């Protein structure tokens, strides 16, 4: 969370003390903050996904929790899209323009602070409202759910790297994220273009 909070504002604002620098300098500037952000985002996602297994051992409840998680992801994307639309709409001052320029930088700065504030509030609420069982209770519960004790094996992180299924799941997860992220990026552009075409 700290990586996300510290890097996110820099990803969507003008380059600090280098807004007039050459493109490669700005590329390195933004790329470094995006790498930090992606690292923090991935850590948060992994922690949330791992927590689902800790919260319940019932498959149906796990699916339900994952569905809630995905639903809130969609809702948050719609929230950001709506905020962007409102802020950019208020910034035009009645002028009809479809271009985003450097003059719109304050809009993205404000949007960044809105998203950070709302996200931080939700994160704090999540950590306060979610209660995990003690580790020993989870281990005993998982043992009691299996028919034989030999089915439950404690694994270290090195053991996971030796499992073929780990790489299969990783590949499927990566492909799913690529499709999901691509659709999230291009769907708003498609909607905007469609609305602009229909309004002509």
Contact predicate 107/13, CB 8 Å: no
pTM of the model: 0.66
**134: alpha, beta or left? (left if phi > 0; alpha if psi -120 to 50):** beta
Burial letters 156-167, b for 16+ CB under 10 A, else e: eeeeeeeeeeee
- Give the CA radius of gyration of the chain: 22
* φ and ψ at residue 175, rounded to 5 degrees: -65, -40
Distance separating alpha carbons of residues 44 and 68, to the nearest angstrom: 16
pLDDT in tens, 133-190: 666 555 555 555 544 444 567 788 788 788 888 888 888 888 888 888 788 778 877 8
pLDDT in tens, 56-78: 888 889 899 989 988 988 898 88
Distance separating alpha carbons of residues 37 and 35, to the nearest angstrom: 5
Within 8 A by CB and 6+ apart from 91, the residues are: 104, 106, 107
């Amino acid at each position: 969370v700290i990586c996300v909070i510290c890097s996110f504002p820099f990803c969507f604002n003008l380059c600090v003390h280098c807004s007039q620098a050459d493109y490669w300098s700005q590329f390195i500037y933004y790329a470094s903050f995006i790498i930090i952000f992606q690292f923090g985002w991935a850590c948060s996602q992994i922690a949330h996904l791992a927590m689902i297994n800790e919260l319940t051992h019932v498959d149906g409840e796990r699916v339900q929790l994952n569905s809630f998680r995905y639903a809130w992801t969609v809702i948050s994307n719609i929230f950001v899209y709506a905020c962007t639309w409102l802020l950019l709409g208020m910034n035009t001052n009645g002028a009809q323009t479809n271009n985003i320029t450097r003059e719109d930088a304050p809009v993205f700065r404000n949007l960044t602070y809105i998203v950070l504030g709302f996200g931080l509030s939700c994160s704090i609420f999540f950590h306060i409202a979610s209660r995990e069982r003690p580790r020993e209770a989870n281990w005993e519960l998982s043992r009691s759910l299996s028919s034989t004790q030999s089915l439950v094996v404690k694994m270290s992180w090195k053991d996971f790297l030796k499992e073929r299924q780990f790489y299969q799941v990783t590949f499927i997860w990566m492909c799913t994220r690529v499709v999901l992220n691509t659709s999230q990026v291009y769907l708003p552009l498609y909607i905007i273009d469609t609305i602009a075409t229909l309004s002509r």
